[in-house]
Amino acid sequence: MNWRFAYAIGFHPWEDTDLPFARKISELFDREEKGHEPPYGLALDLGTGSGIWGIELAKRGWQVTGIDIVDKALQRAWDRVQKAGVDMRLLRGDVTALRAAGIGSGFRLVLDTGTFHDLNSAQREAMGREVSAVAARDATVLLLVWPKRRRPLIRGASRSEVEAAFPGWRVTDVEPSHFRLPKILDLLLKPDEHWYRLRRE
Ligand SMILES: C[S@@+](CC[C@H](N)C(=O)[O-])C[C@H]1O[C@@H](n2cnc3c(N)ncnc32)[C@H](O)[C@@H]1O
């Protein structure tokens, strides 16, 4: 996917999520917050795009940093953050070079709604290494992944590819996200998207 071009022409169907998707992501956040009181700690929104889910985490009481490589996406995120009146840090940088971007460390929750599964294998490995370096010991990683299959635009990833990119982490759950694209795109791209939850071994 050419993300820069997509934002330039206003193509971002991943932002048009519906209630079942929102309910599921909220359930996943609930799970990470259970037994704690806000503030919940540092959260990292990888490939934050327009900041939608990072802002949601900030509203819930996480101290959020969002990172993206596309300026237009970050501009949209900045506008959204202002509108929401939340405190969320936004950085321009690559998920494969988080430390070089000055992201910091100690993140208890690392969220990726759609970046990992379109990276190539060297980039995935780099992202896994960087996440391992900046995440807290008791961190949870939540990855949204389309299965690997021939389709236009998004590569997708298999479970073994997720595991290979995150050595030292264990997949604890794989659950449907209930994400649906607009009808034509859904038929064409067949997302069949799942949440992967990872914890350190
Ligand atoms: C499917 S979009 C998801 C955006 C946002 N998380 C959401 O759910 O609305 C994937 C995002 O990853 C960003 N991205 C892709 N490759 C990246 C990289 N190597 N480093 C940082 N961001 C990247 C894109 O610019 C895009 O905003």
pLDDT along the chain (201 residues), means of 10: 95 91 97 97 98 98 98 98 98 98 98 96 98 98 91 87 98 95 83 95 94
Going by CA atoms, what residue is nearest to atom 11 of ligand 1?
Answer: 47
> pLDDT tens digits for 14-36?
998 889 999 999 999 999 999 99
Rg of the chain over Cα atoms, rounded to whole angstroms, equals: 16
Q: How far is the CA of 144 from the centre of ligand 1 (A)?
A: 11
Q: Which two tokens stand for residue 160?
A: 């073994």
| Residue range 127-139, pLDDT digits in tens | 999 999 999 999 9
91 lines ligand 1 (CB under 6 A): no
Backbone angles phi and psi of 154, in degrees to 5? -115, 130
What is the Cα–Cα distance from 61 to 112, expressed in whole angstroms?
18
Among 74, 76, 115, say which to mutate for ligand 1: greatest number of ligand atoms within 8 Å of CB: 115
Give the residue whose CA is nearest to atom 12 of ligand 1.
47
Half-sphere exposure of 115 (CA within 13 A, CB side): 25
Q: How far is the CA of 56 from the centre of ligand 1 (A)?
A: 16
| Other beta carbons less than 10 A from residue 108's beta carbon | 19
Choose among 81, 77, 152, 161: nearest CA to 117: 161
Instruction: Report whether residue 114 contacts ligand 1, using a CB cutoff of 6 Å.
Output: yes
CB neighbour class for 137 (10 Å; exposed up to 12, middle 13-18, buried from 19): exposed
